[in-house]
């Protein structure tokens, strides 16, 4: 097979996998299924019927699959993804898939198969509970953000690493779809008719626009830590005793609150959608409580672990300055509120929605979920710069639910 870039067929994916050293035996009987359900890539699941062994081949396409060939997209994102996965794996080996190989010419990453896990978004829609999730994701974010920041790594090496993770095309997707299009009449938006009044109100809300502009500026300019960059519940494989963070192709050096806000926003989007998925009031109430407890625990674990790393492992002598740590953590919290809000708003009427909401068949229930998500999201954006405790975020969700 030629290794000049082209999108692989399933037969070529099988041939490629068969040629990998030390994975499948020569008499393996390989089959392939293309299972990519995301917005951007091909994902081949390759398995050997005889041995039961399997792996994943993920290939970047030179355009955004969700839109088509009219939206070209760099193949370098496959390098960024494989390097980010390997860095994350060195800090949290149990929380990311193992990378076996990366093939630059084909923009192809060979990695561990996680088919015994489910995509977390699906698991939440089915109202499953994951007792270790908050501990896992809190530790993942604390370690990956701390050790890639000026607090946790040599500051000159960090500058070189920032260079390796300049990711302009993927960042532009975020800058447009999260911090621009939802606040004006952009052709990228995808607005259901019944939401037009709510969207018009957002387009006219100057107080909200100021907060979004400030958050956008922070996203554009603050090279604080190596972010995953797209840490929603579709980027997490999960089962009761295991969590695996996947898909860091949007990785770049940005503000920590962007990753934390992504996790919290996607828990809250599921919270907003629960009415549409629930069989009964009691079951829905219990599940919503579980989601809010999880939101609080994610932040609490992140903060506790990050502060412990700061106290024990910092390489920045000025970080011991009294009150600096408290100032820093409060700024991360405030930005987490704002970014979480932006991430909720864009998933309701921007280009790319979420199944937690769009999958609700009953139009009236879907509309209530959408309006609730917009109420929570816009309030978080506006309250962010005054926030001082994660309890305020929980209160915003509760108050919006009874309004
Ligand atoms: C054109 S890509 C649309 C969205 O999918 C990804 O998961 C990112 O969230 C991006 O904004
Ligand atoms: Mg993705």
- Over residues 182-192, the pLDDT tens digits come to 999 999 999 99
- As a whole number of angstroms, the distance between CA 222 and CA 209 comes to 20
The answer to whether residue 5 sits within a structural domain is no
- Ligand 1 pocket, mutate which of 81, 119, 252, 352 (most atoms under 8 A from CB): 352
Predicted local distance difference test score (pLDDT) of residue 39 = 80
The answer to whether residue 1 sits within a structural domain is no
Same domain, 207 and 320: yes
Predicted local distance difference test score (pLDDT) of residue 309 = 98
Task: Give, in order, the Cα–Cα distances in Å from 136 to each of 173, 236, 243, 244, 290.
Answer: 28, 11, 7, 9, 16
Ligand 1 pocket list (CB less than 6 A): 39-40, 64, 66, 173-174, 177, 230, 352
**pLDDT higher than 90, residue 141:** yes
**pLDDT higher than 70, residue 333:** yes
Lowest mean pLDDT among 60-64, 91-95, 129-133, 337-341: 60-64
Neighbours of ion ligand 2 (CB under 5 A): 38, 247
Same domain, 242 and 369: yes
User: Virtual CA dihedral for 87, 266, 176, 351, nearest 10 degrees?
Assistant: 120
Q: What does the DSSP assignment read for 73-138?
A: --THHHHHHHHHHHHHHHH-GGGSPPEEEEETTTTEEEEE--TTSEEHHHHHHTT---TTHHHHHH
Which residue puts its alpha carbon closest to atom 2 of ligand 1?
39
Q: Are 337 and 387 in contact (CB under 8 A)?
A: yes
* Domain-terminating residue out of 112, 127, 155: 112
Identify the band that residue 365 occupies on the pLDDT scale cut at 50, 70 and 90. very high
Identify the band that residue 279 occupies on the pLDDT scale cut at 50, 70 and 90. confident
Same domain, 130 and 265: yes
**pLDDT higher than 90, residue 330:** yes
Taking the CA of residue 173 as reference, the ligand 1 atom at the shortest distance is 11
The mean pLDDT value for 165-192 works out to: 98
ipTM of this predicted structure:
0.98
- As a whole number of angstroms, the distance between CA 121 and CA 111 comes to 21
* Domain-terminating residue out of 112, 146, 161: 112
Q: Are 296 and 391 in contact (CB under 8 A)?
A: yes
Q: Strand 54-60's sheet: what is its strand order?
A: 30-34, 41-48, 54-60, 108-112, 99-103
- The 10 Å Cβ neighbour count of residue 21 is 7
The answer to whether residue 165 sits within a structural domain is yes
The answer to whether residue 398 sits within a structural domain is yes
**Which ligand minimizes its atom distance to the CA of 71?**
1
The whole-model pTM stands at 0.97
Determine whether the annotation assigns residue 114 to a binding site. Answer: yes
- As a whole number of angstroms, the distance between CA 273 and CA 396 comes to 16
* Domain-terminating residue out of 112, 131, 161: 112
The CATH number for 97's domain is 3.30.200.20
Q: Are 98 and 143 in contact (CB under 8 A)?
A: no
The residue range of the domain holding 162 is: 118-402
**pLDDT higher than 70, residue 2:** no
**Which ligand minimizes its atom distance to the CA of 172?**
1
Predicted local distance difference test score (pLDDT) of residue 276 = 86
The per-residue pLDDT for range 33-48, each reduced to its tens digit, is 999 887 889 999 999 9
Interhelix angle 324-349/206-221, rounded to 10 degrees, is: 120
Which residue puts its alpha carbon closest to atom 5 of ligand 1?
39
**pLDDT higher than 80, residue 131:** yes
Q: Which of 344, 14, 65, 13 is nearest to 198 (CA)?
A: 344
SS3 281: helix
Determine whether the annotation assigns residue 27 to a binding site. Answer: no
The mean pLDDT value for 78-94 works out to: 98
Taking the CA of residue 234 as reference, the ligand 1 atom at the shortest distance is 7
Per the model's pLDDT, the better-predicted residue between 403 and 224 turns out to be 224
- As a whole number of angstroms, the distance between CA 237 and CA 115 comes to 9
The per-residue pLDDT for range 110-120, each reduced to its tens digit, is 999 999 999 99
Identify the band that residue 400 occupies on the pLDDT scale cut at 50, 70 and 90. very high
> The tokens 């963070």 sit on which residue?
245
Same domain, 310 and 330: yes
- As a whole number of angstroms, the distance between CA 56 and CA 42 comes to 10
Q: Can you give the length of the chain in residues? A: 403
The per-residue pLDDT for range 227-236, each reduced to its tens digit, is 999 999 999 9
Distance from CA of residue 352 to its chain's centroid? 13
- As a whole number of angstroms, the distance between CA 233 and CA 255 comes to 19
Same domain, 251 and 191: yes
Interhelix angle 324-349/281-313, rounded to 10 degrees, is: 140
The mean pLDDT value for 320-345 works out to: 98
Q: Strand 118-119's sheet: what is its strand order?
A: 118-119, 236-239, 242-245
Distance from CA of residue 368 to its chain's centroid? 25
Same domain, 316 and 205: yes
- As a whole number of angstroms, the distance between CA 210 and CA 59 comes to 39
Same domain, 100 and 128: no
Taking the CA of residue 230 as reference, the ligand 1 atom at the shortest distance is 9
The answer to whether residue 4 sits within a structural domain is no
Identify the band that residue 1 occupies on the pLDDT scale cut at 50, 70 and 90. low
The CATH number for 362's domain is 3.90.1200.10
Same domain, 265 and 345: yes
Same domain, 201 and 306: yes
**pLDDT higher than 70, residue 374:** yes
Mean pLDDT across the chain, nearest whole number?
96
- Ligand 1 pocket, mutate which of 230, 233, 251, 263 (most atoms under 8 A from CB): 230
The per-residue pLDDT for range 335-344, each reduced to its tens digit, is 999 999 999 9
Same domain, 126 and 37: no
**pLDDT higher than 70, residue 209:** yes
Predicted local distance difference test score (pLDDT) of residue 68 = 86
**pLDDT higher than 90, residue 376:** yes
Same domain, 221 and 103: no
State the total domains in the chain. 2
**pLDDT higher than 90, residue 316:** yes
* Percent of the chain clearing pLDDT 70 (strictly above): 100
The per-residue pLDDT for range 286-300, each reduced to its tens digit, is 999 999 999 999 999
Taking the CA of residue 174 as reference, the ligand 1 atom at the shortest distance is 11
The mean pLDDT value for 369-388 works out to: 98
Which residue puts its alpha carbon closest to atom 9 of ligand 1?
230
Predicted local distance difference test score (pLDDT) of residue 212 = 99
Widest CA span in the chain: 65
Same domain, 107 and 134: no
Say if strands 108-112 and 54-60 run parallel, antiparallel, or are unpaired.
Answer: antiparallel
The answer to whether residue 55 sits within a structural domain is yes
The mean pLDDT value for 325-353 works out to: 98
**pLDDT higher than 80, residue 138:** yes
Contacts of 147 (CB under 8 A, 6+ apart): 91, 153, 309, 313
Q: Are 295 and 393 in contact (CB under 8 A)?
A: yes
The answer to whether residue 169 sits within a structural domain is yes
- As a whole number of angstroms, the distance between CA 215 and CA 339 comes to 7
The mean pLDDT value for 61-87 works out to: 93
């Amino acid at each position: 097979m030629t290794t000049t870039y082209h999108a692989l067929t399933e037969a070529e994916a099988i041939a490629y996998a068969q040629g990998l050293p030390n994975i499948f035996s020569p008499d393996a009987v390989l089959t392939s299924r293309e299972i990519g359900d995301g917005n951007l890539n091909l994902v081949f699941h390759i398995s050997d019927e005889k041995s039961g062994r399997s792996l994943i081949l993920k290939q970047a396409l030179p355009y955004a699959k969700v839109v088509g060939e009219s939206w070209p997209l760099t193949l370098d994102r496959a390098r960024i993804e494989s390097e980010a996965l390997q860095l994350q794996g060195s800090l949290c080996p149990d929380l990311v898939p193992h990378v076996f190989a990366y093939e630059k010419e084909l923009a192809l990453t060979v990695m561990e198969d996680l088919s015994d896990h489910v995509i977390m978004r699906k698991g939440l829609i089915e109202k499953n509970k994951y007792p270790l999730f908050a501990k896992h994701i809190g530790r993942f974010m604390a370690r990956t953000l701390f050790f890639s920041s000026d607090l946790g790594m040599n500051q000159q090496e960090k500058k070189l690493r920032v260079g390796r993770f300049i990711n302009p095309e993927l960042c532009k997707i975020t800058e447009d779809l999260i911090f621009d299009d939802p606040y004006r009449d952009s052709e990228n938006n995808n607005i259901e008719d019944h939401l037009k009044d709510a969207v018009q109100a957002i387009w006219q809300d100057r107080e909200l626009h100021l907060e979004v502009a400030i958050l956008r500026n922070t996203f554009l300019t603050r090279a604080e830590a190596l972010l995953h960059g797209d840490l929603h519940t579709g980027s997490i494989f999960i089962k009761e005793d295991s969590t695996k963070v996947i898909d860091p192709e949007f990785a770049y050096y940005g503000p920590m609150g962007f990753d934390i806000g992504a996790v919290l926003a996607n828990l809250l989007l599921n919270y907003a959608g629960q009415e549409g998925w629930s069989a009964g009031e009691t079951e829905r109430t219990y599940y919503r409580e579980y989601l809010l407890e999880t939101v609080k625990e994610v932040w609490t674990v992140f903060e506790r672990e990050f502060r412990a790393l700061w106290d024990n492992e910092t390489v920045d002598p000025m970080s011991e300055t009294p009150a600096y740590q408290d100032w820093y953590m409060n700024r991360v919290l405030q930005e987490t509120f704002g970014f979480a809000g932006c991430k909720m708003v864009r998933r309701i009427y921007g280009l790319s929605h979420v199944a937690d909401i769009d999958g609700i068949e009953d139009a009236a229930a879907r509309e209530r979920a959408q309006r609730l998500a917009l109420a929570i999201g816009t309030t978080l954006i506006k309250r962010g710069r005054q926030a001082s405790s994660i309890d305020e975020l929980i209160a915003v969700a509760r108050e919006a639910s009874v309004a």
